[in-house]
A and B are shown apart, each in its own frame.
Chain A
Amino acid sequence: MNINRKFFNQIAFIALALFAAVSLACSGQQMGGGGNTSSSGTIKISGTGSTFVKPMMDKWGSEFGKLNPNIQIDYSGTGSGAGIKGIQNRTVDFGGSDAAMTDDEMKQTTGGEIVHLPVVLGAVVLTYNLPDVKEPLKLTPELISDIFLGKIRKWNDPKLKAENPNLNLPDNDITPVFRADGSGTSDIFTDYLSKTVPEWKEKVGRTKNPQLPPGIGIGGKGNEGVMGQVKNTPNTIGYVELTFAKANNLPAAQIKNKAGNFVTADSSTVSKAAAAFADTMADDLRFEITNADGADAYPISGTVFMLVYKDQPDPVKGKALVDFLWWAINDGEQYVVDLHYAPLPESLVTKVDAKLMSITSGGKPLRQ
């Protein structure tokens, strides 16, 4: 009898716990999807996507939250593809992506037209593990392509030595490290090489999922995965976003840009790459800034876009979202350089501000 009661108590407990979990999950979904905002007083805005911009979004979210205690910004780093999927299916209020959406992706939305809002710039750097090399390695696009296609297999290859006569390059096999998951970083990297090296364009092309010839390299999951492999394996070379290389004290190669100069990636060289495109940019702001003109422009640069519906379903949340992005681009810029991102050039900020003004809810503009 005693045991029986215990048993039923346990069942009841499990059932209750399940019920609680399910109801929590449901309410969580509601928060993400839209609606229900006024009841608790806080407005929750949720976003997902690009892992690259995650540290920036966290910083902006917390600073903006201090100024506007009633608005809470939640951003989860799930990958650019997931950011696009998230905004297409409206599981979030905004998506983040390192690559602009393609025309096909723009057609598969459930809430109408999507606006692309560049918020911050970043660089993809070639980082390497060569303990005896102290000066930065110099690389041309042809060298990068040859290394990742397996045509240059030794660190002391004459072609590498020609560009780096002063470096003590070892007689060891090169192990390239690439991204195993679909990623905006790969997209920027392959876009750059496709623009500069015909052989790369033909064999790999621009893609979020590059496939190297079999047996050439090892794949890491995420920026941190590539980082981990490079950091722990001598003679490797991999591509990661600049922030990750900085955070791990790893070297970044200087890259030969369109003007023929070897350029180090930093906030100013990346901003210069974007400035070079400001005048010729498409009106919908879907652009890339790889292989830019300009003597000091870093060539493997990229933009992070926030993806937002032009017509917001909920005026309260829509207003909060637009205000947040406006603040991030105009006032939040002070936090950008500390985190090793690059700010948008002035000319571009004006364009993004104009885009933000065009966002409406039920036909009414959210910001005047």
Chain B
Amino acid sequence: MAQSSTLGDKVYRTILFVAASSILLIVAAIFYMMVQSSMPTLQRFGIGFLWAREWNPSQELFGALPFIYGTVVSSLLALLIAVPISLGIAVFLVEQAPKKIARPIAFMIELLAAIPSVVYGLWGIFVLAPFIREYLGPVLQDNLGFLPIFQGRLTGIGMLTGGIILAIMITPIVTAVVRDVLEAVPNTQREAALALGATKWETTMIVLGNAASGIAGAVVLGLGRAVGETMAVTMVIGNSPQISASLFEPAYTIASVLAANFADATDEIYLSALIEMALVLFLVTVVINGLAKLLIMSVAGRANASKHT
């Protein structure tokens, strides 16, 4: 049987090899293009580009730090809000809810994932920003106003609004992946735990522990979407390149500054600075993915170790 299809196997293997290597090629080509096109600013500002704080294209001052700050903080904020909620939804769907309820909720979550980001942005401007300005912001300032993160002028447009929009946008994908991961945990584990007298809560904890690496993967996927999201964030984050402790103040993300200015950048040095920002975004993504991989490995390692003791 195996002998008769050697030619087919060879073709098959070649096709797979080409498919796999095309990814490498694409990544290499993108990386090469970005380095090549950002040479003018790479040579002029060197590594200092990463921590310079001034951004003023008309005076040819280009510093990436406010944008890196905005990207990282808004994405982390989104994770902080989205991950607990997503975990809650997924656990409810898999462990608690009867099929009758689980189906429609799962459907709604998939629906959320299909909404284009510009719609989230509009919703952010018309609904979320006024809500934060009129209700959430004043409540936070009255009760937690001594914290620097809740001080300052309340416009409804800023880092917090951006973070919340991102959180809503990544919740569906994190939920969907976590749900799949939880469903993949064999039922025998739950039955064994219950048989040993564990409560529902304890059983769920065991299931979550065994699914830890998959959950971490879901979080990374969500983070990836948050870091790269452009349109919705541009519409609500305020687009002002500054580093402010307050979450109510406007900020700016790398993806937003690229989207807002790429088409209009006429001079070479400005274009080069924008492409270098894209390169920075690329590297930020690589670093985040790397860290996540390490996290997954350590969590999975611990889970394995606990199994053996």
Residues of A within 8 A of B (CB): 78-82, 84-85, 104-105, 173, 175, 180-183, 205, 207-212, 214-221, 225, 228-229, 232-233, 236
User: Which residues in B have their C-beta under 8 angstroms from that of A105?
Assistant: 266
User: Which residues in A have their C-beta under 8 angstroms from that of B155?
Assistant: 175, 218, 233, 236
Given contacts A78-B263, A181-B260, contact A218 B240 (CB under 8 A): yes
Nearest CB in chain A: distance from B80 CB, A? 23
Assuming A81-B266, A84-B266, what are 15 further A-B pairs, CB within 8 angstroms? Answer: A79-B263, A105-B266, A180-B260, A182-B264, A210-B58, A214-B240, A218-B158, A218-B239, A219-B238, A221-B235, A221-B239, A221-B259, A229-B157, A232-B129, A233-B129
CA distance A214 to B251 in the complex (A): 10
Q: Which residue of chain A has its CB nearest to the CB of B158?
A: A218
CA distance A219 to B125 in the complex (A): 13
Complex contact B234–A221 (CB within 8 A): yes
Complex contact B264–A183 (CB within 8 A): yes
Nearest CB in chain A: distance from B14 CB, A? 15
Nearest CB in chain A: distance from B76 CB, A? 21
Residue B261 interfacial (CB < 8 Å): yes
CA distance A208 to B56 in the complex (A): 11
Interface size on B, residues (CB 8 A): 35
Complex contact A232–B250 (CB within 8 A): no
A selection of 13 A-B contacts at a CB cut-off of 8 Å is: A79-B264, A81-B263, A81-B266, A84-B266, A180-B239, A180-B252, A180-B260, A207-B58, A212-B240, A214-B240, A214-B244, A232-B130, A232-B156
9 closest A-B pairs by beta carbon, nearest first, are: A219-B239, A81-B264, A207-B58, A182-B264, A180-B239, A214-B242, A218-B238, A181-B260, A209-B57
Residue B249 interfacial (CB < 8 Å): yes
Given contacts A217-B240, A218-B240, A232-B125, contact A211 B261 (CB under 8 A): no
Given contacts A181-B261, A233-B129, contact A215 B266 (CB under 8 A): no
Residue B35 interfacial (CB < 8 Å): no
Per-residue A-contact encoding for B146-158, CB less than 8 Å = 1, 0 else? 0000000101111
Residues of B within 8 A of A (CB): 55-58, 125-126, 129-130, 133, 153, 155-158, 234-235, 238-242, 244, 249-250, 252, 256-257, 259-261, 263-267
CA distance A84 to B265 in the complex (A): 10
Given contacts A181-B264, A182-B261, contact A233 B133 (CB under 8 A): yes
User: Which residues in A have their C-beta under 8 angstroms from that of B58?
Assistant: 205, 207-211
CA distance A104 to B234 in the complex (A): 31
- Which single member of B55, B129, B264 contacts A80 (CB below 8 Å)? B264
Nearest CB in chain B: distance from A157 CB, A? 15
User: Which residues in A have their C-beta under 8 angstroms from that of B260?
Assistant: 180-181, 219, 221
CA distance A175 to B154 in the complex (A): 10
Nearest CB in chain B: distance from A11 CB, A? 10
Complex contact A219–B240 (CB within 8 A): yes
CA distance A175 to B125 in the complex (A): 16
Complex contact A82–B234 (CB within 8 A): no
User: Which residues in B have their C-beta under 8 angstroms from that of A212?
Assistant: 240
Complex contact A85–B125 (CB within 8 A): no
Complex contact B250–A228 (CB within 8 A): no
Nearest CB in chain A: distance from B222 CB, A? 25
User: Which residues in A have their C-beta under 8 angstroms from that of B263?
Assistant: 78-79, 81-82, 181
Given contacts A81-B263, A212-B240, A217-B240, contact A233 B235 (CB under 8 A): no
Q: Which residue of chain B has its CB nearest to the CB of A81?
A: B264
Among A78, A105, A210, A232, find the residue whose CB has the most chain B CB atoms closer than 10 A: A232
User: Which residues in A have their C-beta under 8 angstroms from that of B257?
Assistant: 180
Complex contact B264–A225 (CB within 8 A): no
Complex contact B130–A182 (CB within 8 A): no
User: Which residues in B have their C-beta under 8 angstroms from that of A214?
Assistant: 240-242, 244
CA distance A182 to B58 in the complex (A): 10
Complex contact A182–B239 (CB within 8 A): no
Among A81, A210, A236, find the residue whose CB has the most chain B CB atoms closer than 10 A: A81
Among B126, B252, B263, find the residue whose CB has the most chain A CB atoms closer than 10 A: B263
User: Which residues in B have their C-beta under 8 angstroms from that of A233?
Assistant: 129, 133, 155-157
User: Which residues in A have their C-beta under 8 angstroms from that of B267?
Assistant: 104
Complex contact A211–B239 (CB within 8 A): no
User: Which residues in A have their C-beta under 8 angstroms from that of B153?
Assistant: 173, 175
Nearest CB in chain A: distance from B11 CB, A? 13
Nearest CB in chain B: distance from A193 CB, A? 14
Nearest CB in chain B: distance from A154 CB, A? 11
CA distance A128 to B164 in the complex (A): 27
Complex contact B266–A225 (CB within 8 A): no
Among B133, B156, B239, find the residue whose CB has the most chain A CB atoms closer than 10 A: B239
Nearest CB in chain A: distance from B249 CB, A? 6
User: Which residues in B have their C-beta under 8 angstroms from that of A81?
Assistant: 263-266
Complex contact B125–A229 (CB within 8 A): yes
Nearest CB in chain B: distance from A118 CB, A? 20
CA distance A207 to B264 in the complex (A): 13
Complex contact A85–B250 (CB within 8 A): no
